[in-house]
Amino acid sequence: MISVGLIGGTGYTGKKLIQFCARHKGISEFTIYGNSTAESMLCTIFPEFEGQIHNRPVLSSQDVSLEHDVYFITLPHGGALNFVPKLISAGKKVIDLGGDYRLDSADSYKQWYGIEHTSPYLLNSKLYGLADIETDAYPMVRLISNPGCYPTSVLLGLLPLVNNHSDCILSVSTAAYSGTSGAGKSPRSDLLMTEMEGNVKAYNVNNHRHQPEILQMLEKFGLSSPFSFTTHLLPIGTGIYTTTSVHLKSALDQSDLVHEYTRFYENKPFVRIRQNPPDLKWVTNTNFCDISVSVKDKTLIITSTIDNLIKGAAGQAMQNLNLLMGWDESISLGLNRKELNYASVG
C-alpha cells in the first residue's frame, strides 16, 4: 500500500484522479494540495463526492509533505518545475500531467512554452508515459511525464503504422477535435455555452504546443515524412476525436493492416481496434482508446477517440502508476464495470 500526494488536485483532471485514488486497492491514503482552493473542504469543492469519498481539507501547495510515496502533479505549465526536482531528490516517484517534462529539449520547451526550463537534466531521465506502448523502462524511472490528451489519441492511432511502414509514408495530416474541458476550469468568454453551442472552430493553427510532442515520438518510431496537425473545438464538454490522413508510396492491404494493429496492442486492454470508425460516446467516461483503420489504394484513414480527462489525462496517469508499481495496469480504471459502476460501451 502506498501514500499519494495530489498537487493541484481540484481541477477537472484532479477530480478524476481523486475518484481513481479513492477506489484504488493499492493506495492506503491520499492528500490533496491546492492553491486558490487551499483550506477548503473537498466536498465543498465537489459536492457530488458527499457520502462517496471521505471529506477532507485541501492543504496548501506551499506545504507539500515529503512523506508520500508517489506524487501526481496537475498544474499549468511551469508549475511542476517548482516541485519535481525536490521530490526526485528526496527519492520520490512523480507523475507529472502537465507539459513541463514532455519535450526532450530545454530549447524546444522554451520555444513552445515561453519558459526557461530550470531542471533540464531531468528531461532525458524521464519516461514519456504513453502507457499502451510496450516498454520495460518502468522499474528504472522515478519521473513519468504523462502525455497530452491530443498526443495520446494521435499517437495511439499512428504508431503501429509508423512502426511497421515508415518507409511507405509520403505525408501525414491529422485533424483533431476536443471538448472544452481540455482548456481547464478557468473562465474564458470564448468557451461560454452561448459562444460554443452549435459552433466548431480551429485554433492554434500551425502553432499548437502538442505538435512537437507528437512529432518527437513519431520520429523515434522512424517517421521522416511531413506531418501536419490542426486542432478544433467542439461544443461538448469532454472527448477527443482525431482523423488522420496518410498518403502512401504504395498500397497496403486492409486485412494485413488490421492484423498488425491488433498484434501491436494485443496485450493492452484499453486499446480497442474497431471495424468501423468509432463513436466518441463509446469512450467517454472510460479509459479506452478506440481505433479504426481504412485503406483504399494509396490513402489510409485512421480514426481514434478518447475521453480527454481520463485516457488523455487522469486515467492514463493511473495506468502509469500501476505500471510504475508493477501492478495490474487496469486497477481502479473500470474494466470491472459492475464493481466500478461504469456504463458498458458499444
Task: State the pLDDT confidence band at 37, using cuts at 50, 70 and 90.
Answer: confident
For 117, the grid coordinates are: 526550463
Instruction: Please state which of the ranges 44-53, 178-187, 304-313, 314-323 shows the lowest mean pLDDT.
Output: 178-187
CA distance 278 to 292: 7
Largest CA distance in the chain: 61
Average pLDDT, whole number, for the chain? 92
Q: What is the pTM of this model?
A: 0.92
**Whether 40 contacts 58, CB under 8 Å:** yes
Q: Which residue carries 514519456 as its cell?
A: 128
Given 43, 149, 168, 289, the catalytic residue: 149
Exposure string over 4-36, b if 16+ CB within 10 A, otherwise e: bbbbbbbbbbbbbbbbbbebbeebeebbbbbee
Q: Which residue carries 485503406 as its cell?
A: 295
How do residues 221-274 score in pLDDT, each as one tens digit?
A: 999 999 999 999 988 888 999 999 999 999 999 999 999 999 999 999 999 999
CA distance 8 to 61: 7
pLDDT of residue 193: 60
Phi, then psi, of 252 in degrees rounded to 5: -115, 155
Q: Is 149 an annotated catalytic residue?
A: yes
Query: What letter represents residue 304's amino acid?
Result: S
Closest to 218 in 3D by CA, of 131, 270, 157: 157
CA distance 132 to 88: 25
